[in-house]
Structure 1
Amino acid sequence: MLALVVAHLVLAGLLPLVSARSRPAAFAVAALPPSVALLWAFSQTGPALGGGVTESVAWAPALGLTLSFRLDALALVMIILVSGVGAVILVHSIGYFDRDSPQATRSAALLLAFAGAMLGLVLADDLLTLYVFWELTSIASFLLVGQGGERRAERRAAVQALLVTVFGGLAMLLGFVLLGQAAGTYRISEILADPPRGGLVPVALVLVLLGAFTKSAQLPFHPWLPAAMVAPTPVSAYLHAASMVKAGVYLVARLSPGFADLAVWWAPVVVVGLGTMLVGGWRALGETDLKKVLAFGTVSQLGFLMVLLGAGDRTAALAGAAMLLAHALFKAPLFLTVGTIDHATGTRDLRKLSGLRTALPGTAVAAALAAASMAGLPPLLGFIGKEAAFEAFVDEGGARGYLVAFGLLAGSMLTAAYSARFLWGAFATKPGVEATVVHHRPGALLTGPIWLCAVAGLVLGGAYVLVDLLVMPYAAAYPDEHGYHLALWHGFNIPLLFSALAIGGGLLLHRARATVDALSHHSPVDAQRGYRSTVDGVSRLALVVTGRLQAGSLPVYLGVILVTFILLPGVAAVVAGQWPADQPVYDALVQVPLALVVVVAALALTRSHRRFTAVLLVGVIGYGVGGLFIIDGAPDLALAQFLVETLSMVAFVFVLRRLPAHFTERRPTWLTRLPRLLIAAVGGITVAGIAVVLSAARVGPAVASGEFVRLAPEGAGANNVVSAIIVDFRALDTVGEIGVLFIAAAGVSSLVLATRYDTRRKRESGREQVSSGQSGPDHEREVLG
């Protein structure tokens, strides 16, 4: 499994070499790894539907970090989406992108890299492994939506998608850590086998759901998905219909068998999912861009999937897994249809399209087949999944069951309505609108993938037994109360009535589209406006905080650092730390006079009026601390301290030659001095207290320290462990630190020498304005004082 994921990523890095010779060939090559992954998954169907296929690779055994993968029924369904539908979309891209398209090169490589990241995500059996691939998909989505960044809409949409999904991902990471610590393991299969309860588990689950909601465009985070429609249509079809947006749904589906019995899990999922389904469906009825219609439809369908896979019911889980497959098989071809129409006519505006039913009859039939599955018409797979969804909550009964059932019915009416709106807008002959001219007749590479996915939805609807066998092992994680199985016909019952009402109600809504269009644009709540207000508010807050803190004052900077230290690690040490019961006041009597010298010098420093006196007192403090190091048995550290203090004093003396002898600032009053005194005193006490608490927390030698002691004589030929660490064990770190110091010294020297050069030229020429480097005259005058 790891080899398949790595193959995707490695080949993605090599694809630009192929694109340099032939861009169509790059998409053809990119379709190979997903195809191989799909074939491999099908070859493992038997074990996957049984106990599952597992694989682990330890990459940091001492820390217990492993790359763990598992192929089971749910992962197999997702691989059909990620690899199967992904390969079809990559083939479609060969005909979609022009041979000289600047988007083709980057899109081929990024789509393949995204496919590899999604494959790793759905196979991950470890929370941390899942998180790594989760964020890789966010990065790939950012690059694919933003493309080259030439257009402002692309940049804004890419940044919005990244901010929302990464914000949720970070919250989810914290939830993973809390959940893994509560369970004692980060292996997902082990967590589900014995789910933890109590403690911080509810907090962990809420944080995990937050990540799932942002990734799958749930309320109120959904606006990023319609905004991302600025991406090329194949990108939208793959990321925002078939694959990436289902990552959050997949996460809910993966964890629900262990936590769906908790109200803190199912209640947010059901409420947010129903709200998302209704809002997304309603917004789709007011859009005029065919991609936006499908985008808000995708938001609605994702809410539908959330409800099914998070409710904690066996029949609902069965319906959800079937709808996962059905959604990819009808939404991907519909997006590809929009790309084909745009490629052929140059527009996606349904108000300008007319008569394409006769101009593009093959595409129209395939799109109608896919839209019928989305609306829930038999004998397509979408109908089977929706009827199972109605069955789950009608059979459940009670307040929750009937509320969810009627909510799904209302959402399904909206689904049927925007399905009809899509077909009408794309292919109908509209009165008063001229027939749309087809400039480029779509070839087999554009229409073939549409037909393949649409026909697959029809075939699987008839072969519902195969779908039932595929998804039943996942649903079997829940108690079997009704013995329900997927089928085309369950007799005349309430779920069948709900299906008929959904279709009929949707057609009536579409017939009243003029009124619905007007109403859909009048909403008191706008999530996109809320996102912009949030971003603007954070920017204004950042400006205010930066203006207050970055004041150009060293005392302010030191005060902020000390206050932050007091509030964060200081409070944590007080709350969680433990003061040692046998803490001595001193270990050796000579420590007392040295400590008094340091304290007296520090107090005298605050009262000093002369700069030279202040420098000497700082030196006394440093030498006193060095003396304490000697007493504590660290002569090497004391020597370093003495050298630093001596060099610092020499540097200060050179600087003091150019400064006034006395401090020239106005002496502060007690009112302004008191906050400084309090911050300094509390900060010093906090540092001392944390040092005592942390030193007392160690009950035995650290593992790393023991290894350093053992390896120093043999590996480094040194008896001084500190020296061995600095010179040998952390040699690269030390070289890096030296490099940073060298760069800083070179920069300071350059500035000093440049100023001296400018001063000399000014004296020689007698002119006020001089020229050096690339600075202007005003900056030169500022440098020269």
Structure 2
Amino acid sequence: MLGGCEVGLTLAVLAPLLFAPLVPVLNRYTKFHVGWLVALVPFTLFVYFASQLPLLMRGEVVEVFYQWVPTFGINFSLYLDGLSLLFAMLITGIGTLVVLYSIYYLAPEEPLGNFYFYIMLFMAAMLGVVTSNNLILLYGFWELTSFSSFLLIGFWFFKEESRYGAQKSMLITVAGGLAMLAGFVLLYMVTGTFEIREIIAQAETIKAHAFYLPILILVLLGAFTKSAQMPFHIWLPNAMEAPTPVSAYLHSATMVKAGIFLIARMTPALGGTMEWFLIVSTVGIITMAMGSFLAIKQKDLKAILAFSTISQLGMIVTLLGLSTSAAVLAAMFHLLNHSAFKGSLFMMVGIVDHETGTRDISKLRGLAKVMPYTAVIAGIGALSMAGVPPFNGFLSKEMFFEVSVETVAATFAYVHPLAIMFPILAFLGSVCTFIYSMMIFHGVFFNGPLTEDTPKHPHEAPFGLLAPGLFLVSLNVIIGLFPGLVGNTILKPVTESILLEPMKIDIYHWHGFNLPLIMSIGVVAFGLILYKNLPQFKKIYDVLPSQPNMNTVYDGGLANFLKGSTWLTEKQLTGYLRDYLAVILGFTVALVGSVAIYREALDFNMVNLAPVELAEVLVAVVIAIAAVFTVMAKTRLSAVLSVGVIGYAVALMFVLFRAPDLALTQLIVETVTLALFLLCFFHLPKDLLKGTIKGSAKLVNAAVALGMGTLMTVLTLSAHNNKSFESISKYFIENSYELAGGKNFVNVILVDFRGIDTFGEIVVLAIAALGVYAMIKLRSKRGRES
């Protein structure tokens, strides 16, 4: 029996998935915007997760365990601790604001039922990812996020850019997910379990195992592709073709943070080693610096935010790679802050696009004169992102600087010559962050008179569009001024769930006049100088080579892959059944035969075989002669009759083996199929068998037939002598009458013990029959019309 907390957590995770199919129906029959009903789901879930804070602050957790496929260690097990709660609150809280924002953003003629269905599907997938305690369950939800985000990014499917962006995100993240799955399988081989808490308990065993490095690389590939770390970042800018509410939800607060969650969740099991630091922190700091540098080059507001997101995620990954208590606290604090300021900035960009008709910063200036509330959202969000006090972004950025400085002298840095690059790249990346933040705020809303060359005359947005963004930027101010509100309530349980040790949280603005503060002052000073001379600074992009880049690699690789697959398909799909059978059977012979020989599984011991009677030999000879005659037959009728001889001879063999039921079934099937063959062949062309077959093709036919026949013979004989388990036939013989009330245990097996299988076969045959009937009716109808 599940307790109240367990039932509540299960319902909370599955609620969006259960509600999603109702959305198209509600959209069709409700007289008001369906978004108001949809918003109730994430809001209710946010209230539920927020209500669990007191429990988690006391050090307790909520667990759900239900056996699913126990043989393989796959269970429906959920685990709610500080880390999963933070992500669940972000998913549901920002999800509520995004749904409310989309009510005013999307036009009524849009397919709203589809949109909110995809949103609910994605929300359920993300909740499943962050609460899963079983790696296979997590993987299932993980791939559901890729699928649902594919639908959301390609929502405007009539645009080629949307289809391209959706496909790109799908291919990259799914490929990473498959690598991650391989890492999970290796973890199972090492630990014997897929349960995350049990895996964490065996952390030392994993780190000492020879599979540790392959596990680490494979799992991180999944995290890096999902969180858009270089060189897998290229999908995120193209994903900006999605509607702005989708960008605000997927690409600032949720989907891209799934990779962050995976790294944080696996830190106790895989973190704290030299390999972890070198891979995770190196990839993170390079992504942070390069993402912010490339953001300045962009002209589209959403593209700037896309590269900004890549950079900010790189910063969080860097901190998680360091794995110290200060670094983990800074990572989780900045994750929370990033969701607030980046979500508000995406909503601001949507407002600007909605009310001016463009996102091109070269056409936007002076908007603060007519869009003052939007300017407030942009100002607070951009300054928080730039790390300017008193906003929350300043606090987590200071913590980042402090940790990066400590890295140079810390023993966990391992490679001291490289460690000096962390504070340098952190400083340079932050300078670039300040520049593009000023591009967004000052360049669009001030920087001269009101723009006059936009498709729409600029004007302030309605309150419904403004409210979600204003709410999020208010959090930037509140958390910045009163960080203690989230310190011991949210961040303490989060960091303790990652570090598995008690934490003392003390976040404040003034740390004295130290190196991190000097770095912050330098960021503002250099940032202002470079922003003032931005045209000259941007000339550096003209000097740097633009090719080759990862987009070129992706496009070229995809084109070559499609070209190669087309060539292979044309070689395989020749239109001849003979070729298909030759490939399938030949591959089977090669694969199964080589494995059987390699594993020394073949055993030709004849001691335990029953004696062969003369009648059985005679029937076998008849079958062989009829088979050879079928191949050598020159006419259609003789070939069909010889096949019939084989079928009836097999029925006679069943009689000799004292299996009357099988014999009767074989006789009925053989008679029906023989009649059908004759009926069908009557309508086929007369010269069907006069086609010429090359000698080489005949040799291939003979080789495949001989190989397949030999393989099945030796496998059958070997299987009789390689019995790893006791035969189940004894159980059926002993229990058929007692459990099913039938003395004919063959019938009992088919009808009772394997009743569901038999029912499934009947259903398949019924569907096939209906399909044939429908095609016949359709052809008859077309014949009458013509």
Q: What TM-score, normalized by structure 2, do the two folds share?
A: 0.86
Question: What corresponds to 1:511 in structure 2?
Answer: 532
- Structure 2 counterpart of 1:405, one-letter code: P
Alignment of 1:268-307 (within 5 A): 268-307=279-318
2:140 equivalent to 1:132: yes
Change (3 A) 1:388 1:582: farther
> Tell me, what secondary structure is at the counterpart of 2:264?
helix
Mean Cα displacement is larger for which, 440-449 or 294-303? 440-449
The one of 385, 394, 397 aligned to 1:374: 385
2:479 equivalent to 1:454: no
Asked if the contact 1:153/1:230 (under 8 Å) is kept, the reply is yes
The one of 135, 141, 153 aligned to 1:145: 153
> Tell me, what secondary structure is at the counterpart of 1:247?
helix
Mean Cα displacement is larger for which, 217-226 or 246-255? 217-226
Change (3 A) 1:478 1:63: closer
Deviations 1:175-203 (A, max 9, x none): 33332343222221221122352365544
Mapped partners of 1:482, 1:2: distance in 2? 29
How far off is 1:74 after superposition? 0.8
Question: What corresponds to 1:85 in structure 2?
Answer: 94
Asked if the contact 2:365/2:448 (under 8 Å) is kept, the reply is yes
2:30 equivalent to 1:9: no
| Pairs aligned (count) | 756
Mapped partners of 1:55, 1:655: distance in 2? 58
- Structure 1 counterpart of 2:575, one-letter code: G
- Structure 2 counterpart of 1:471, one-letter code: L
How far off is 1:634 after superposition? 4.4
Change (3 A) 1:587 1:414: farther
Change (3 A) 1:194 1:614: same
Mapped partners of 2:692, 2:405: distance in 1? 80
Alignment of 1:175-254 (within 5 A): 175-195=183-203, 197=206, 198=209, 200=211, 202-254=213-265
> Tell me, what secondary structure is at the counterpart of 1:395?
helix
How far off is 1:661 after superposition? 9.2
Q: Structure 1 regions of 5+ residues with no counterpart? A: 758-770, 776-785
Asked if the contact 2:146/2:173 (under 8 Å) is kept, the reply is yes
> Tell me, what secondary structure is at the counterpart of 2:20?
helix
Question: What corresponds to 1:718 in structure 2?
Answer: 742
> Tell me, what secondary structure is at the counterpart of 2:77?
strand
Deviations 1:512-553 (A, max 9, x none): 432444544642233233333233223222221221111122
Mean Cα displacement is larger for which, 225-234 or 407-416? 407-416
Q: Structure 2 regions of 5+ residues with no counterpart? A: 1-8, 409-415
> Tell me, what secondary structure is at the counterpart of 1:772?
helix
Deviations 1:146-194 (A, max 9, x none): 2252333223322332333333333333433332343222221221122
Question: What corresponds to 2:709 in structure 1?
Answer: 684
Mapped partners of 1:617, 1:479: distance in 2? 74
> Tell me, what secondary structure is at the counterpart of 1:76?
helix
The one of 652, 666, 680 aligned to 1:641: 666
Deviations 1:638-695 (A, max 9, x none): 44334444444444455666676995344644x5544444333333333334445555
Mapped partners of 1:150, 1:570: distance in 2? 50
Question: What corresponds to 1:700 in structure 2?
Answer: 725
> Tell me, what secondary structure is at the counterpart of 1:637?
helix
Asked if the contact 1:273/1:304 (under 8 Å) is kept, the reply is yes
How far off is 1:564 after superposition? 2.4
Alignment of 1:530-679 (within 5 A): 530-576=553-599, 578-580=601-603, 582=605, 584=607, 586-590=609-613, 595=620, 598-599=623-624, 602=627, 614-615=639-640, 617-623=642-648, 625-626=650-651, 629=654, 634-652=659-677, 663-666=689-692, 668-669=694-695, 673-679=698-704
Alignment of 1:56-95 (within 5 A): 56-59=65-68, 65-95=74-104
Alignment of 1:317-328 (within 5 A): 317-328=328-339
The one of 123, 126, 131 aligned to 1:115: 123
Mean Cα displacement is larger for which, 612-621 or 44-53? 612-621
How far off is 1:44 after superposition? 1.7
How far off is 1:385 after superposition? 1.9
2:348 equivalent to 1:348: no
Mapped partners of 1:326, 1:547: distance in 2? 53
Question: What corresponds to 2:516 in structure 1?
Answer: 495
Mean Cα displacement is larger for which, 16-25 or 340-349? 16-25
- Structure 2 counterpart of 1:496, one-letter code: L
Mapped partners of 1:609, 1:20: distance in 2? 64
Alignment of 1:458-497 (within 5 A): 458-469=477-488, 470-476=490-496, 477-478=498-499, 486-497=507-518
Question: What corresponds to 2:174 in structure 1?
Answer: 166
Change (3 A) 1:510 1:693: farther
Asked if the contact 1:83/1:115 (under 8 Å) is kept, the reply is yes
Asked if the contact 1:23/1:105 (under 8 Å) is kept, the reply is no
How far off is 1:362 after superposition? 2.8
Deviations 1:34-72 (A, max 9, x none): 222222222222332414221234456677543221111
Mean Cα displacement is larger for which, 37-46 or 594-603? 594-603
Question: What corresponds to 1:97 in structure 2?
Answer: 106
The one of 34, 42, 52 aligned to 1:26: 34
Mapped partners of 2:340, 2:718: distance in 1? 60
> Tell me, what secondary structure is at the counterpart of 1:102?
coil
Mapped partners of 2:667, 2:165: distance in 1? 57
Q: What TM-score, normalized by structure 1, do the two folds share?
A: 0.86
How far off is 1:739 after superposition? 1.3
Mapped partners of 1:639, 1:551: distance in 2? 39
Change (3 A) 1:432 1:565: same
Deviations 1:122-156 (A, max 9, x none): 12212222223223322322222222523332233
- Structure 2 counterpart of 1:208, one-letter code: V
Deviations 1:671-721 (A, max 9, x none): 554444433333333333444555555433478x78866775466543334
Question: What corresponds to 1:783 in structure 2?
Answer: none
2:453 equivalent to 1:426: no
Report sequence identity in percent.
34
- Structure 2 counterpart of 1:636, one-letter code: D
> Tell me, what secondary structure is at the counterpart of 2:363?
coil
- Structure 2 counterpart of 1:27, one-letter code: G
Mapped partners of 1:479, 1:14: distance in 2? 41
Change (3 A) 1:362 1:542: same
Asked if the contact 2:73/2:193 (under 8 Å) is kept, the reply is no
Question: What corresponds to 1:735 in structure 2?
Answer: 762
> Tell me, what secondary structure is at the counterpart of 1:28?
helix
Mapped partners of 2:215, 2:119: distance in 1? 32
Mapped partners of 2:595, 2:390: distance in 1? 62
Question: What corresponds to 1:761 in structure 2?
Answer: none
> Tell me, what secondary structure is at the counterpart of 1:354?
coil
2:421 equivalent to 1:403: yes
Change (3 A) 1:262 1:94: same
Asked if the contact 1:18/1:25 (under 8 Å) is kept, the reply is no
Asked if the contact 2:373/2:460 (under 8 Å) is kept, the reply is no
Asked if the contact 1:315/1:475 (under 8 Å) is kept, the reply is no
- Structure 1 counterpart of 2:141, one-letter code: F
Deviations 1:558-607 (A, max 9, x none): 11111221344444444456345856484222265655555565556555
Mapped partners of 1:549, 1:743: distance in 2? 30
Mapped partners of 2:97, 2:164: distance in 1? 29
How far off is 1:237 after superposition? 0.4
